[in-house]
Amino acid sequence: MEKWHAAKPGSIVNGSAAPKQKPAPARAKSAAPPAPPQYTTVFGEALVEEARRDERVVGITAAMNSGTGLNLLQKALPERYYDVGIAEQHAVLFAAGLALEGAKPVVAIYSTFLQRGYDQIVHDVCLQKLNVVFAMDRAGLVGDDGPTHHGAFDISYLRCLPHMVQMAPRDEAALVNMLHTALVYDDGPVALRYPRGEAEGVELPLRPEPIEIGRGELLQEGETVAFLGYGYGVSVALGAAESLSDAHGLDATVADARFAKPLDTELVERLAADHDVLVTVEENVLAGGFGSGVLEHLADSDLLRDTRVLRFGLPDRYVTHGQPSLLREEVGLTPEAVAAQVAQAVLEPSLA
């Protein structure tokens, strides 16, 4: 069991478990808005709903029952839940076997731990083009657990694999729609990445809607600068755009790529053609990541002559442990830091 695997501060008092806080009443008297749900919980609940709708759906965890939200599936539909132990390689192969016979396995493994099943992803799921869904919680900087646990590489290590579809939600509503999209897609594997911690606090769809594979979304139209975010990068991009508007009166375009693969090349080309600077934002190493994919496409299409591309993401080093907000400051992945660099590039191009 995961009891005390990772205790929260204040959960142990005088050497024993602290008394449980009474849950907040459903209708609090104060007008404070409820905290946004955790991505993990949204995923777990959405998976239960998908499993209820489609009896082929099963969930697989490698000994991360509540960490992945699969405890909700275990509780609601125990016969659809598998914990194979700390055995990521087997989890992926087991899913491959299930998929071969028509089941729809969702392999819920943190981005960092999916690295441990890489050969199985390459040789067994992608090469054989099997319908396996990878749900990667903890994608990006995880915080206190540090460099061994940051999900810093999955965009890069999966983007190079033929047949793989990669998507990332910008908020919890998108996560619900994307999980549904991944499960109705039947032409190979899908990898879904989402960050650790609180979601954005948006309303969830009553019934999930599938998204067109490889189609991004334009969120706001502006000029000169276009932000193209992926996953958590979208909220950074939106914040940076707001900051640019406030500080410099520059109204930037912001788009959500939604897919790192296949890339919405039409959207990328349009953004590049209509703006001086195209800014990509992701929480993954820059090497081989989402921004790299955008650059590759623009270079291959000879569209880099008139467009400057700025990429924001994680640096080519291992990031230490600590609060995510502090780590994001350290690596320059905050709306303010991104806005400052973009402003410099646009307003004082010679200095950038």
Residues of this chain that bind other proteins (CB under 8 A): 56, 58, 79, 82, 84-85, 87, 89-90, 93-103, 105, 119-120, 123-124, 127-128
Q: How far is the CB of 53 from other proteins (least distance, A)?
A: 15
18 vs 127, beta carbon nearer other proteins: 127
| Residue placing its CB nearer to other proteins in the complex, 102 or 249 | 102
Residue type, 23: P
Helices (H), the chain: 39-53, 70-76, 88-100, 111-114, 118-120, 154-159, 172-184, 232-248, 265-274, 290-300, 324-331, 335-347
Q: Identify which of residues 23 and 102 has a Cβ nearer to other proteins in the complex.
A: 102
Closer to other proteins by Cβ: residue 58 or 238: 58
> Which of residues 121 and 279 has its CB atom nearest to other proteins in the complex?
121
Least distance CB 241 / other proteins (angstroms):
45
Residues for the chain: how many in total? 352
- For residues 255-284, one letter each, b for 16 or more C-beta atoms within 10 angstroms of the residue's C-beta and e for the rest, the string is bbbbbbbebbbebbeebbeebebbbbbbbb
If we measure between CA atoms, which residue out of 142, 170, 306, 153 comes closest to residue 237?
170
**CA angle 195-197-199, nearest 5°?**
80
Q: How far is the CB of 138 from other proteins (least distance, A)?
A: 22
| 155, 289 contact by CB (below 8 A) | yes
Q: Which of residues 119 and 266 has its CB atom nearest to other proteins in the complex?
A: 119
Q: How far is the CB of 43 from other proteins (least distance, A)?
A: 22
The minimum distance between CB 84 and other proteins, in angstroms, equals 5
Closest CA to 119 of 88, 82, 84: 88
Answer whether 92's CB lies under 8 Å from 136's CB.
no
Between 85 and 201, CB nearer to other proteins:
85
Cα–Cα distance for residue pair 272/184, rounded to 1 Å: 32
| Nearest approach, Cβ of residue 151 and other proteins (Å) | 22
Query: Which 3 state secondary structure label does DSSP give 244?
Result: helix
The rounded Cα 267 to chain-centroid distance in angstroms is 20
Smallest distance from other proteins to CB 85, Å: 7
